[in-house]
Amino acid sequence: MVGGLKMEGRIWIPKNVEKKEACPCGSEKTYEKCCLKKGLKYRNYGKNHEDKNILIEESECDREYRKITGVVLDTINKADMENGLSVSYGVESLKQLYGLYEDSISIFSKYSSCTKGCSQCCHMYVDLTAMEAEVIRKFVIENFTNEEIEKIMCRLEENKDLVPDYRELVGLEKMSDQLDSYWSKQIPCPFLNEEKECGIYQVRPVKCRTFMAFSKEENCTYEDNKSFRIETPMGNGLLIGADAISTNVKRFKDLKAEDKKTNLLALKKSIYHWFKDGFNNIDRSI
Ligand code: SF4
Ligand code: SF4
Ligand SMILES: [Zn+2]
């Protein structure tokens, strides 16, 4: 326990704000005499890099989560059971989900230490679904010059054999060892540009969107490795949503995860491997 919070790995579990504590809204009354009376339930996720308490009001969080799951359900309901969704419909639905997530996550991200140009986390293993890869592929084709595409292809070529194949990443223990060993190699993401910024920021994968630190930037280095992160309901909604959209798109329907038990999860490959043959098509080999 640190600062009243239980730590599980590097993910922190929130605690409820006590009745006698100062009200999180800043009214200078106690919580019980202020927001608790209005039925507002705050949870404290701990202190961020600026020593501020990360205070989240539960009903607001639930509302934002429901907006995300609502879009996911709408999208899936539109999928004809036999034919599934078209790729273009999947692209638009995923982009809509990204927009919704970015708005909803602001209740957490206002406390985060992540900034433009901070890129330690862009040396970690990032995997994504076919649908996320397709959104990136389209963005690259529509926005990058041939010369820029060439540069990315060189980075892909240079490092793709150093990236573990998704088939090697079976069993949680082995997986975390492999991911740790990958991070120790400090291989940059192929989309990290010379300014140390994400070249595909608008369409970056779900894993990058949900990876958010609340500790100081220096805690994110491989050597220090003490970053403080929070698993948010909206992040979980986005992860499930991207999986669901991918498995409901006709062209990607058969791209399921190795885990045959649920048969629900979309296949996830590394950001390196979807584009190993360039940007005319994503690599759909299993
Ligand atoms: S997760 Fe860490 S390294 Fe990545 S942007 Fe945030 S603070 Fe920087
Ligand atoms: S896609 Fe962008 S945010 Fe994600 S790892 Fe690559 S450079 Fe970083
Ligand atoms: Zn209050």
CA distance 253 to 90: 12
* Each residue's pLDDT tens digit, 2-31: 333 444 444 556 788 889 988 988 889 999
In a shared domain, residues 123 and 214? yes
Note whether 164 and 247 are same-domain residues.
yes
Instruction: For residues 28 and 67, state if they share a domain.
Output: no
Q: What is the pLDDT of residue 215?
A: 92
Mean pLDDT over the full length of the chain: 88
Which residues form the domain of 24?
Answer: 1-47
Determine the atom of ligand 1 nearest the C-alpha atom of 118. 8
**Domain tally, the chain:** 2
Structural domain contains residue 263: yes
User: Which one, of 185, 174, 186, 181, lies nearest residue 121 by Cα?
Assistant: 186
- What pLDDT does residue 89 have? 93
* Mean pLDDT, residues 51-79: 90
| 195 assigned to some structural domain | yes
For residue 202, report the distance from its CA to the centre of ligand 1, in Å.
Answer: 17
Phi, psi of 47 (to 5 degrees): -95, 140
What are the tens digits of pLDDT across the range 192-224?
999 999 999 999 999 999 999 999 999 998 888
- Please name the residue that has the structure tokens 């054999």: 161
> What pLDDT score was predicted for residue 12?
57
Flag whether 256 is in a domain.
Answer: yes
Q: What is the pLDDT of residue 63?
A: 94
Residue nearest to atom 2 of ligand 2 (CA): 198
Q: Identify the residues whose C-beta falls under 6 Å from ligand 2.
A: 122, 126, 189, 191-192, 198, 200, 204-205, 208
Q: Measured in angstroms, how far is the CA atom of residue 40 from the centroid of ligand 3?
A: 8
> Which residue, judged by its Cα, is nearest atom 6 of ligand 2?
189
Question: Are 244 and 102 contained in the same domain?
Answer: yes
Flag whether the pTM goes above 0.75. Answer: yes
- 154 and 226 co-located in one domain: yes
CA-to-CA distance for 83 and 104, rounded, in angstroms? 32
Quick one: 117 and 247 in the same domain? yes
Tell me whether residue 279 is in a domain. no
- State how far the alpha carbon of 231 is from the alpha carbons of 99, 142, 180, 207, 237, in Å: 19, 33, 19, 12, 11
pLDDT digits over 113-134, tens only? 999 889 999 999 999 999 999 9
94 and 165 belong to one structural domain: yes
pLDDT at 262: 58
Statement to judge: residues 191 and 76 lie in one domain: yes
pLDDT in the model for residue 260: 54
Number of Cβ atoms within 10 Å of the Cβ of 88: 11
Indicate if 166 and 229 belong to the same structural domain.
yes
Tens digit of pLDDT for each residue in 262-281?
Answer: 556 888 999 999 998 899 99
Domain membership of residue 64 (yes or no) is: yes
| Same domain (yes/no): 162, 258 | yes
CA atoms within 13 A on the CB side of 232: 36
Ligand 2: nearest atom to the Cα of 197 = 7
Contact, 6 vs 13, CB < 8 A? yes
Q: Which helix (H) or strand (E) holds 55?
A: strand 53-57
Q: pLDDT tens digits, residue range 136-183? A: 999 999 999 999 999 999 999 999 889 988 877 765 566 677 788 888
